[in-house]
């Protein structure tokens, strides 16, 4: 099969999976009013790989090195800077082309790349072979995947073995001749309800007495014992909103419950090797933060664009303090882009696999997350209060009120009143809506909270070299 069409992908989701949302069991995710938006968002990935434009196809597709068949570039294990740069470009480009991230292969391949690094570091030939076979499987089936890393965690001050019950972290409850049985719950899993495959890795370092929690495996999303409870996303464009240039693209996250799920041995990549749990979590985080910073770039470009265009529509693009704010916005966006390029250009090689530079990838993610709210404030500031108080498209279409809106809501003569209102709608969506509140929390927590990035920066940064220089200058020996 190797490359699927969007329709083949949609059809594959009608597989008896157990999905709940808003108190009801979802019969068919592709027909559900909210979940189908996530389905169509991920389906865009399959549309891009069948693009007739050779430039787009070359970016999203590459020939399988074993079979020669065209496959999704997401399934290319990065071997060098060029591969990482292509992956980053592909992720950013998918948002620019489709209006939202088709998050159907990104997190899953971040997990699988980390699994392959760690199998190699363990020197475990069996795990290496299983990971390779699994890569062959997803390449052949063109699987949409999610990555399930974050556990429910219970009392955060306690390790897995000291929790009120043993299931706050996913763990092995039985080892059988043909496989293992696992129990637990992975939280906030992006695209879980619309994935074909779930790949699971540990979220943290496990201790010697926590071997059952050091477990990694892959499982179909419709496997017996899996139940997903989903966040209701925003859904399609409403009649209240001024029309936008593209359909709504957005994803859905779910808590994924594993209630005594059987996993065959050939899909198990770690089982008990607690000494390597930290390396797996760390390697995943390096791959995944690189994915994160890559997809954040077009988002912050778009939001900065709202600020620039709103300043123009207000007739203020030349005002001194507005220019100062536009400069701050540009510096925020361009620093993220520069750091993302740098993370690809200086990878750490593990065997033949290129891992994005962990220090730089974490610096980039921390820059993004810690500066985001200030960046949004700048856009809100230059745009004006209208981005949260403007009347709706329905009022625009009502003859009783349209005349007043036309008369009073104009701005610079470079824009018609309707164009200005469409721009206000976009700026509202990205900086002032309920959807944006979700994005603000996503910024802080998705791909790991800021403390997780600081921990990795502390591990990687040459702090003692800094101190040695200071000591040398202070005349302190030793």
Ligand X SMILES: Cc1cc2nc3c(=O)[nH]c(=O)nc-3n(C[C@H](O)[C@H](O)[C@H](O)COP(=O)(O)OP(=O)(O)OC[C@H]3O[C@@H](n4cnc5c(N)ncnc54)[C@H](O)[C@@H]3O)c2cc1C
- Footprint of ligand X on this chain (CB under 6 A)? 107, 146-150, 153, 156-157, 186, 188-190, 253, 441-442, 445-449, 451
Q: Which residues, other chains included, contact 336 with Cβ-Cβ below 8 Å and sequence gap of 6+?
A: 293, 296, 297, 300, 364, 367, 368
Rounded least distance, CB 171 to ligand X, Å: 16
Rounded least distance, CB 457 to ligand X, Å: 14
Query: Which residue in the block uniquely carries the two structure tokens 């000494």?
Result: 275
Token pair listed for 324: 């100062």
**Rounded Cα distance, 392 and 15, in Å:** 40
Cβ closer to ligand X: 128 or 171?
171
Cβ closer to ligand X: 25 or 156?
156
Cβ closer to ligand X: 101 or 378?
101
3-state helix, strand, coil in the chain (%, to 5): 55, 15, 30
Rounded least distance, CB 130 to ligand X, Å: 21
Cβ closer to ligand X: 57 or 188?
188
Cβ closer to ligand X: 178 or 451?
451
CA atoms within 13 A on the CB side of 187: 13
Cβ closer to ligand X: 72 or 291?
291
For 225-271, give the secondary structure using H, E and C: CEEEEECCCCCCCCCCCCCCCCCCCCCCEEEEEEEEEEEEHHHEEEE
Cβ closer to ligand X: 149 or 248?
149
How many CB atoms within 10 Å of residue 154?
15
Rounded least distance, CB 292 to ligand X, Å: 10
Rounded least distance, CB 454 to ligand X, Å: 9
Per DSSP, the residues of 331-376 read HHHHHHHHHHHHHHHSPEEETTEEEPPHHHHHHHHHHHHHHHHHHH
Rounded least distance, CB 388 to ligand X, Å: 23
Rounded least distance, CB 1 to ligand X, Å: 25
Paired residues of 253 in beta bridges: 190
Cβ closer to ligand X: 146 or 185?
146
**How do 19-21 and 24-25 pair as beta strands?**
antiparallel
- Helix (DSSP H) and strand (DSSP E) numbers for the chain: 16, 14
Q: How far is CA 277 from the centre of its chain?
A: 22
Cβ closer to ligand X: 286 or 314?
286
**Rounded Cα distance, 390 and 198, in Å:** 42
Question: Could you tell me if 161 and 210 are in contact, meaning their C-beta atoms sit under 8 angstroms apart?
Answer: yes
Per DSSP, the residues of 280-338 read HHHHHHHHHHHHHHHHHHHHHHHHHHHHHHHHHHTT-TT-HHHHHHHHHHHHHHHHHHH
Q: Is 85 exposed, middle or buried (0-12, 13-18, 19+ CB in 10 A)?
A: middle
Cβ closer to ligand X: 411 or 448?
448
Rounded least distance, CB 289 to ligand X, Å: 10
Cβ closer to ligand X: 295 or 396?
295
Rounded least distance, CB 278 to ligand X, Å: 15
**Rounded Cα distance, 245 and 364, in Å:** 30
Rounded least distance, CB 103 to ligand X, Å: 8
CA atoms within 13 A on the CB side of 288: 29
Rounded least distance, CB 447 to ligand X, Å: 6
């Amino acid at each position: 099969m190797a490359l699927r069409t969007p329709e083949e992908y949609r059809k594959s989701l009608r597989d008896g999976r157990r999905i709940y949302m808003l108190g009801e069991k979802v019969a068919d995710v592709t027909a559900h009013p909210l979940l189908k938006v996530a389905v169509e968002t991920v389906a865009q990935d399959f549309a891009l790989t069948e693009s007739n434009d050779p430039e787009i196809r070359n970016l999203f597709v590459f020939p399988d090195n074993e079979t020669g068949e065209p496959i999704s570039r997401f399934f290319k294990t990065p071997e060098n800077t060029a591969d990482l740069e292509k992956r980053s470009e592909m992720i950013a480009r998918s948002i620019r082309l489709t209006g939202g991230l088709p998050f159907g292969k990104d997190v899953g391949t971040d997990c699988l790349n980390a699994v392959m690094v760690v199998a190699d570091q363990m020197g475990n030939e069996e795990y290496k072979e299983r990971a390779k076979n699994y890569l062959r499987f997803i390449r052949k089936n063109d699987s949409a995947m999610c990555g399930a890393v974050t556990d429910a965690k219970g009392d955060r001050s306690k390790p897995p073995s000291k929790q009120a019950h043993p299931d706050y972290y996913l763990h092995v409850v039985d080892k059988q001749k043909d496989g293992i049985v696992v129990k637990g719950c992975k939280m906030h899993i992006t695209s879980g309800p619309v994935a074909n495959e779930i790949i699971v890795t540990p979220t943290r370092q496990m201790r010697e007495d926590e071997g059952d929690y050091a477990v990694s495996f892959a499982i179909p999303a419709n496997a017996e014992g899996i139940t997903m409870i989903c966040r209701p996303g925003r859904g399609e464009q409403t009649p209240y909103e001024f029309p936008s240039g593209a359909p709504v693209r957005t994803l859905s996250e779910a808590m994924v419950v594993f209630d005594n799920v059987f996993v065959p041995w050939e899909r198990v990549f770690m089982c008990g090797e607690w000494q390597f749990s930290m390396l797996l979590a760390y390697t995943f985080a390096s791959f995944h933060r690189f994915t994160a910073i890559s997809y954040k770039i077009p988002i912050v470009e778009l939001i900065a664009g709202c600020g620039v265009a709103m300043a123009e529509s207000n007739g203020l693009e030349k005002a001194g303090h507005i220019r100062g704010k536009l400069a701050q916005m540009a510096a925020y966006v361009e620093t993220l882009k520069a750091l993302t390029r740098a993370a690809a250009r200086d990878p750490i090689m593990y065997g033949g696999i290129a891992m994005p530079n962990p220090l730089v990838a974490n610096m980039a993610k921390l820059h993004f997350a810690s500066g985001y709210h200030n960046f949004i404030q700048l856009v809100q500031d230059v745009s004006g209060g209208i981005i949260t108080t403007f009347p709706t498209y329905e009022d625009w279409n009502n003859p009783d009120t349209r005349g007043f809106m036309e008369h009073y809501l104009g701005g610079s003569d470079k824009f018609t009143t309707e164009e200005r209102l469409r721009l206000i709608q976009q700026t509202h969506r990205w900086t002032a809506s309920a959807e944006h509140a979700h994005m603000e929390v996503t910024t802080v927590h998705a791909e790991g909270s800021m403390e997780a990035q600081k921990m990795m920066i502390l591990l990687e940064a040459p702090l003692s070299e800094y101190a040695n220089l200071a000591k040398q200058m202070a005349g302190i020996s030793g």
